[in-house]
Structure 1
Amino acid sequence: MPIEIRELHIKVAVTGGGPGAGGGAAAQPPGAADGAGEQAQQALVAECVEQVLRILQNKMER
């Protein structure tokens, strides 16, 4: 008999962890311009939103 998983909770904590990262500020690679870190963060958020929407759409199709 197959097992159906109806709900899955995943919890992730992401930290900069690199040298100079602290105070809750977004970690930037050395030599990066101030705007580059913000653009990278926005791109990451956009990618996450796309993946969540794709998952929700697949869930609705079932």
Structure 2
Amino acid sequence: MPVIVRELVVRANVSENRRDEAGASSLRDQSSREDLIKECVDQVMEILKQKTER
């Protein structure tokens, strides 16, 4: 018998980092964000290239 979920509640607790950790963390976050954006752009360009080849 299948179970149907009609409502999903997600809760999260957010806490601020200490100042000395925040600087290093933001640099890593910025770098990983740029890597993610580059990967997304590469994938979109590959999809567009495939569509134009058809």
Q: TM-score range by the shorter chain?
A: 0.5 to 0.7
TM-score norm. by structure 1 comes to 0.49
TM-score norm. by structure 2 comes to 0.56
Structure possessing the higher relative contact order (Cα contacts under 8 Å, 6 or more residues apart): 1
Query: Residue 42 of structure 2 corresponds to which residue in structure 1?
Result: 50
What's the C-alpha RMSD, in Å, of the aligned pairs? 2.5
Corresponding residue pairs, total: 37
**Where does the alignment leave 5 or more consecutive residues of structure 2 unmatched?**
1-10, 16-20
Does 2:31 correspond to 1:39? yes
Deviation at 1:19, TM superposition (A): 3.8
Moved beyond 3 Å, runs of 4+? none
Pair 19,43 (structure 1): closer, same or farther in 2 beyond 3 Å: farther
User: Structure 1 vs Structure 2: percent identity of aligned residues?
Assistant: 32
**Where does the alignment leave 5 or more consecutive residues of structure 1 unmatched?**
1-16, 22-30
Task: Name the structure with the higher helix share.
Answer: 2
